[in-house]
Amino acid sequence: EAQVTQNPRYLITVTGKKLTVTCSQNMNHEYMSWYRQDPGLGLRQIYYSMNVEVTDKGDVPEGYKVSRKEKRNFPLILESPSPNQTSLYFCASSLKPGQAYNEQFFGPGTRLTVL
């Protein structure tokens, strides 16, 4: 089944404790992205990756890191989480940008609470 998976789905942590949210897709998509969703603000892009070893900042990259060592995986790293990073996080992937059919497929989401 073609899908984007994220782990964990729910996480409660404390300020300053490093964490990683994993994202994996099995559709051989070149493009992957991370978003955070907050009430009244919609979906805001954190980082995106056009291909392996190619990443770039989105609109709200502060406090986050990413890596793209393999095509299928795009982990989101919070080196020192703070309460303002409490949010619902979505990973998404799509075919090579510029293709005629370019739907972004979203993962199930990770609800993160930083105390």
The answer to whether 108 contacts other proteins (rule: CB under 8 A) is yes
* CB 98, min distance to other proteins, A: 6
Question: Which residue type does 64 have?
Answer: Y
Nearest to 56, CA basis, from 97, 112, 109: 97
- In angstroms, rounded to a whole number, what is the distance separating the alpha carbons of residues 87 and 65? 16
Site for other proteins in 8-67 (CB under 8 A): 31, 33, 35, 40-45, 48, 50, 58-59
Q: What number of other Cβ atoms are within 10 A of residue 95's Cβ?
A: 17
Site for other proteins in 77-96 (CB under 8 A): 90, 94
Closest to other proteins by CB, 14 or 66 = 66
DSSP class of 61: -
3-state secondary structure of 97: coil
Closest to other proteins by CB, 75 or 107 = 107
* Binding residues for other proteins (CB under 8 A): 31, 33, 35, 40-45, 48, 50, 58-59, 90, 94, 97-99, 102-104, 106-109
